[in-house]
Amino acid sequence: MATSTSVVRRTARARATSRVARAPKRPTRFVVDTSVWARLATTPEVVEELKKIVEMVRPIDLLVCPPVAVEYGFTAPTAKAHRALTEQLEAFGRCDTHPTQDEVLQIQNRLWNGGLLRAAGATDTFIAAYAMRNDAAVLHYDRDFEHIASVVPGFSHRWILPRGSI
């Protein structure tokens, strides 16, 4: 786990300290979902794709929100592994703006009205709300975000790899 993630982390740090100036009008920002973090340890294709994305954007534009941090931290088998996961996440940006209860419930209500309430988990609903409040897309390997996008105008998401490919 540390090997794959540390490669991505080193790449992110190298990009953060790079003196190459880029002046895009508006950088792409991603909230990186747990479905990506968890696959870094087991799926080399995810590592490679995340490295490509790190090269395209500033590391600060790869965001971690509290629901992702807690969900990913929950996967740690030991306290030592939990500390390592926490340190890995520190190399990336944080969501500075938190969604309101009304914003989260509005997403859930749209899922309900679209007949998809149970098609997206509560945590993914929170993650989608964080992404929207922080003007970011969710980077994932989880079909829940497709369901959310189908009923929530303005919600943006991107599969790390094509659906069903891993």
CA distance 65 to 127: 7
**45-50 average pLDDT score:** 97
Beta-strand pair 93-94/137-140 = unpaired
> What is the CA angle 116-135-53, rounded to 5?
95
Given this model, what pLDDT does residue 82 score? 97
CA distance 90 to 163: 28
Q: How confident is the model at residue 8 (pLDDT cuts 50, 70, 90)?
A: low
Give per-residue pLDDT as tens, 56-91: 998 889 999 999 999 999 999 999 999 999 999 999
**110-124 average pLDDT score:** 96
pTM of the model: 0.84
Given this model, what pLDDT does residue 71 score? 96
Please determine, for residue 129, whether its predicted confidence score (pLDDT) is greater than 50.
Answer: yes
Q: Domain extents for the chain?
A: 2-15+32-159
Minimum mean pLDDT range among 23-37, 76-90, 139-153: 23-37
For tokens 């792409």, the residue is 28
Q: How confident is the model at residue 24 (pLDDT cuts 50, 70, 90)?
A: very low
Given this model, what pLDDT does residue 10 score? 54
What are the tokens at 31? 């909230």
Task: Find out if CATH 3.40.50.1010 is the number for domain 2-15+32-159.
Answer: yes
Given this model, what pLDDT does residue 58 score? 85
